[in-house]
Amino acid sequence: MSRTEEEKIAPTVASRETAPVVVDQDGPLVRLACGGDREAFRRLVERHYRRVYHIARRMLGDPQAAEDIVQETFLAAFKHLPGFEARARFSTWITTIAMNRCRNHLRSAAVSRSAPLSADPPAPASASPEAQAGARELAVHLERALASLSPDQREVILLRDVEGLAYDAIAEALDIEAGTVKSRLHRAREAMRVLLEGVWSP
Amino acid sequence: MSSSEKICARVRASFSEFLEEDLAAEERREVEAHLAECAGCAESFARFREAIAVLGQLSRPEPPADLPDRIDRALDRLEPVSLPRARPAGRRRLVQHAVAAMLVGGIIVGIIRVVPEVGGPLPARQAASPESREALPAAKDEFAAMDRAIGPAAGALMGETAPAPAPTARSESAPAIEEKAAKAAPAYRENAEVARARDDDKRVAASTVTPHAAREMLKQAAPAAPAAKKPDVEEPSYYAPRDGEPGGARYARGLLLAARNHASWITAVRDLALSHPGDLASAWAGLDAETRKGILAVWSRAAPVPNLAADLARAGKEAGSPAEQAVIQIFADAIHPPAP
């Protein structure tokens, strides 16, 4: 599934500038799944598992742990679907579950001390070789800086700047006030800037 | 730290607020003025802004493609008794439609002929009006009990070889019918198994439903009960033509009205949703609010509609087409009736 397509069906992952009001297209499927319809639930899984995996992978740094988080998240979601209130978006709710699982994982294991870094990421497409090399280098630094942040700072940058979630969706997913999201984001970005400055001006 | 270094540090620390326009007007002007005169901070801000932008373009590690399957299997282990999985569409669908058509149009006539005591005018028998339901308070519970006990099996039968229990109103007590339903359920399940096996062998045909077989099933599930009080208001016939109503929608309308009387009709409605979502959607749109409510009320007490979404996809309907969306909505409403 392409990124754009995913944005279309996971409306909270929308462009941060526009943040359009989109009808939650998961609604009917969620209602079917609430009634025990496994195929409807399967469709929901197919719509969201990549995003959940991505979040878990970046939070934990470990592919295997991220896969486990995805499984746990959807199993928990299926179990608690009947209690799911439609006032929240399914995508936000899933993110909340995934985030809680990630936090528990980080708390229980000592992995938070040394979150492994992911391999060199490919550069964003459509750029000159020089710009590509530059962007790739920046991306590597960013990955490293992201992994060095505290989990609290990492999660807010991840949801806002990497995933592009709206502030209210982040507040719900992290179970904090909307105002707290902003102040945390500013602090986290500042911490990241300091880390990057070290690279930029040695 | 010199005073100018202090200013630089303070300005840089507020880059994020500045970028998000979260600074007070005065602070904002201060930062702007500083960036205009300090090349170092201006460059730092440019890098900062680029970094935030690139965060949104970081590569997204792909999860293993079989992850949804693994989740599926984990769910199977979680619920050892899972809902019936959708079987591939195809010839079966045709057979189901033939059966559904026979059920609505013919089989019940046959049953009524061989079991005269449950007879009565066809439209009245099939569509007990809301009034007649009210006259028999226990009837609602009976339907619910029947649905719970034999719903899934009856549904399976409906779609394959044999009719569900004819939706007749009964005047027995709810516990009695509960017991009867419980007794009947194993037999139905067995029949469903046989039917499925036949289906798999591709030997099933609509012609396997003989009036005799139908009568036997009817006996097993719900022995003939005294006829219900005749409804005061006559329901329109399922096939009564309406001006300007195309044939498909009329057929869909008939199924929907039948589904108001017994939830097991839902399987036939579901099949129609797969083959003719447009017809079903327009038939649904043509029903008045009261009738819709009645249908949803019966369905919402029934076993969940299994696997509709996947079936729709398999049937090759354009995903997200208005008709498909409408039908999904109908079934979603059936499971969780919208607030009045």
Token reading at A107: 């708390």
* B44 sits in which H/E element: helix B39-55
**Coil/strand/helix, residue B247:** helix
Are B60 and A196 a contacting pair at CB < 8 A?
no
Tell whether B46 lies on the interface with A, counting CB pairs under 8 A. Answer: no
**If 0-12 CB within 10 Å is exposed, 13-18 middle and 19+ buried, where does residue B137 land?**
exposed
Interface residue A113 vs chain B (CB under 8 A) = no
Give the pLDDT confidence score for residue B203 in this predicted structure: 35
Is the separation of the CB atoms in B104 and B254 below 8 Å?
Answer: yes
HSE (CB half, 13 Å, CA atoms) of B21?
A: 1
Q: Which two tokens stand for residue B239?
A: 């096939």
With b for 16 or more beta-carbon neighbours within 10 A and e for fewer, the A94-122 pattern comes to: bbbbbbbbbbebbeeeeebeebeebeebe
- The C-alpha atoms of residue B156 and residue B84 are separated, in whole angstroms, by 9
A28, A78, A193: residue with CB nearest B48: A193
pLDDT score recorded for residue B257:
79
Model pLDDT, residue B253: 81
pLDDT of residue B6: 87
Exposure string of B17-46, with b = 16+ CB inside 10 Å and e = fewer, is: bbebeebeeeeeebbeebbeebeebeebbe
B273 or A10, higher pLDDT: B273
Three-class HEC string of A136-160: HHHHHHHHHHHHHCCHHHHHHHHHH
Query: Model's pTM, two decimal places?
Result: 0.50
pLDDT attached to residue B322? 66
Stretch A18-31: mean pLDDT, rounded? 61
| Contact call for residues A40 and B270 (beta carbons, < 8 A) | no
pLDDT at B301: 63
Could you give the C-alpha distances from A154 to A161, A186, B175, in angstroms and in order? 10, 12, 59
CA-wise closest residue to B309 among A29, A112, A189, A9: A29
Instruction: Calculate helix-pair angle for B39-55, A129-148, nearest 10 degrees.
Output: 80
d(CA B49, CA B43): 10
Answer yes or no: is pLDDT of A74 > 90. Answer: yes
What are the C-alpha distances in Å from B161 to residues A59, A60, A166, B188, B252?
Answer: 53, 53, 52, 12, 20
Range with the poorest average pLDDT among A132-141, A159-168, B302-311: B302-311
Residue type for position B193: E
Spell out the residues 6+ positions from residue A126 whose beta carbon is closer than 8 angstroms to its own: none
Determine whether the interchain pair A49/B54 forms a contact, defined as Cβ–Cβ distance below 8 Å. Answer: no
Report the C-alpha gap between B237 and B309 in whole angstroms.
31
Give pLDDT tens digits along chain B (340 positions): 678 888 899 999 999 999 998 999 999 999 999 999 999 999 999 999 999 999 988 888 899 999 999 999 998 887 654 344 433 334 344 444 444 555 444 444 444 444 444 333 333 333 333 333 333 333 344 334 434 443 333 333 333 333 333 333 333 444 443 444 444 444 334 344 444 444 443 333 333 344 455 445 444 444 334 444 444 443 434 444 444 555 677 777 877 877 777 666 666 777 677 667 777 778 888 888 888 877 777 766 655 554 555 565 555 555 556 666 666 667 666 655 555 5
**Residues B299 and B335 sit within 8 Å (Cβ to Cβ):** yes
**Locate tokens 């878990």: which residue?**
A56
- With an 8 Å Cβ cutoff, is A71 touching chain B? yes
Distance from CA of A194 to the nearest CA of B (A): 9
Q: Which residues of A touch B267 (CB under 8 A)?
A: none
Residue A69 structure tokens? 């988080």
Which residues in chain A have Cβ-Cβ distances shorter than 8 Å to B308? Answer: 32, 37, 39-40
Residue A201: closest C-alpha in chain B: B44
- Greater confidence, A152 or B168? A152
Measured between beta carbons, which residues in chain B are less than 8 angstroms from residue A1?
none
> What Rg, from alpha-carbon coordinates, does chain A have?
17
A54 with B60: Cβ contact below 8 A = yes
Averaged over A88-97, what is the pLDDT? Answer: 89
Q: What's the gap between Cα A91 and its chain centre?
A: 11
Q: What share of chain A is helix, strand, coil (3-state, %, to 5)?
A: 70, 0, 30
In tens, the pLDDT along A102-113 reads 998 988 875 445
* B116 inside 8 A of chain A by CB: no
C-alpha A11/C-alpha A5 separation (Å) is: 10
Phi, psi of B328 (to 5 degrees): -55, -40
User: Apex CA B93: angle with CA B149 and CA B187, to 5°?
Assistant: 25
The CA-to-CA distance between both ends of chain B, in Å, stands at 68
Query: Which residue of A25, A41, A196 is in closest CB contact with B51?
Result: A196
Which has the closest alpha carbon to A110: A164, A62, A162, A142? A62
Confidence of residue A138 (pLDDT cuts 50, 70, 90): confident
- What pLDDT does residue A132 have? 66
List all residues of chain B from 308 to 337 with a beta carbon under 8 Å from chain A: 308-311, 313, 320, 325, 328-329, 331-332, 335-336
Q: How far apart are CA A23 and CA A14, in angstroms?
A: 13
Identity at B41, one-letter amino acid code: C
C-alpha distances (whole Å) from B148 to each of B139, B154, B179, B245, B307 are 14, 10, 12, 35, 18
Query: Residue B175 corresponds to which amino acid?
Result: P
Contacts of B67 in chain A (CB under 8 A): 49, 53, 67, 70-71
CA distance A151 to chain B (A): 17
Q: Yes or no: say if B22 and A182 are a contact pair by the CB < 8 Å rule.
A: yes
